[in-house]
Every structure is written in C-alpha cells, then in structure tokens.
Chain A
Amino acid sequence: MKKAFYFQPLSNAFFIYVLCAILGASFLHQFIKDDPPCDLCLLQRAAMLGTAISLLLNLHFEIRVEHYALALAYSLLGFFSSLYHIAIHMNPDVEIYTMPVMGQYLYVWSFWIFLSSLTSLAILLFLSGVMPKSGKLRKEWKWTAFALTSLLAIGLFITTFPD
C-alpha cells in the first residue's frame, strides 16, 4: 500500500531524470561530435525540457491534472515537430547535416521518445485518478530534478544565445 502511495511522485521524478539524461546526452553529442543542432532539433529539445518542467510542478507543488495537461501539450508539440522533421527528410533533395546515433538520426530518436512520453503520460494521468492521493517524496529527489532542469535550461540558453 505504501508503494502505491508514492507511485505518482516516484514515477514523475524518474520521468524527469530520464528526460534530463536524454537532453544531457544530446548536449554531449553536440560538443563531442561537433554536430550543432538545427532549429527543429532545438524545438524538440525545448519540448523535452517543457515536459520535464511541467512534471517538476507535480513534484514541487502537488500532483495535479493541469500539470499533466501541460506535459501532454509539450509532448504533443514535440511529437508533431519530430514528425514534421522526418517528413522534411523524406525528400531526397533535402540534405541531412546530422550524423546518425546508433543507426538512427536524432530526430527519429526524438519521435520515439515523444511517442513513449505521450504513452507514459496517458498512463500516469489515468492512474492519478485511480490511485489515492499521493504523498511527497524526500526533498533531495525534488531538488536534484530542479537543479538538473535549471542547468539544462541555462546551458541551452547560453548555447543558443546569438553571438
């Protein structure tokens, strides 16, 4: 019973950590492989960060449907953005500047990430109505997620700031 009580905040924290890890990996790829992102790639990164910050509101304040709605909206925007990006590169005349990672281009990975994000959010939203009101996690979990998202927001701001 106690596990179910903490299921919502724990899964939210895990979700945020996964999104931060993906954003961090894309940062590493950008600098190590010297592969600067295009505008649509940045939009997809922003959508991931938006999903993470919306879920952070669940941890920081309380589990609420409106926070999930924001996260769903960001994931949907990222999903359509990556679908649009894939559609652009279906055209053989459009040159692909990025290099593949584990056999797929980053925008294709982004499509799968947003698809799984939408599915997970739908499940979490469903469970938020079924399960009893959640307790709060230990503060360290929340502040780690807070620090990670803040660092990523600052990093993305600095790297996109015009010269």
Chain B
Amino acid sequence: MFVLFAVFFASLVSSFFEKKKLAMLFLLLNLLLMGSFLLQHEMPSL
C-alpha cells in the first residue's frame, strides 16, 4: 500500500518541477494500481 503513496509523492515532486506530463503519468499509474488492488481484494465468504 505504501507504494501508492510513494507514487503520489513522486507526482507532487514532478509537478513542483513543472513536469506536468510526468505528474499526470504518475497519477494514471496510481489509478491503475488502485483499480487492480480493488479488483484483487478478496470478498469474504458469504
């Protein structure tokens, strides 16, 4: 889970250095990571 927040911080750092495309790339990467995490989350047995 800490990887998600590291990528967020990387996105903030790249926007600080005016690298807009890199910041957006990091945000998109995180969106994919979070989506895959949500899909892989185990549903408890009902």
Contact = CB atoms under 8 A, between A and B. Distances in A.
Interface of A: 39-40, 42-43, 46-47, 49-50, 53-54, 56-57, 60-61, 66, 70, 73-74, 77, 80-81, 84, 88, 91, 93-94, 146, 149-150, 153-154, 156-157, 160-162
Contacts, number: 82
A57 B20 contact: yes
Contact of A43 (B2, B12, B15, B34): B34
A146 B13 CA distance: 10
Interface in B7-28: 8-9, 11-12, 15-16, 20, 23-24, 27-28
Contacts of B23: 57
A46 B34 contact: yes
B9 A157 contact: yes
Given A61-B20, A94-B44, A157-B9, A43 B38 contact: yes
Interface residues of B, number: 26
Contacts of B44: 88, 91, 93-94
At the interface, is chain B mostly helix, strand, loop or mixed? helix
A73 B8 contact: no
A85 B17 CA distance: 37
Contacts of A77: 31, 34-35, 38
A160 B5 contact: yes
Nearest to B12: A150
B26 to A, nearest CB: 9
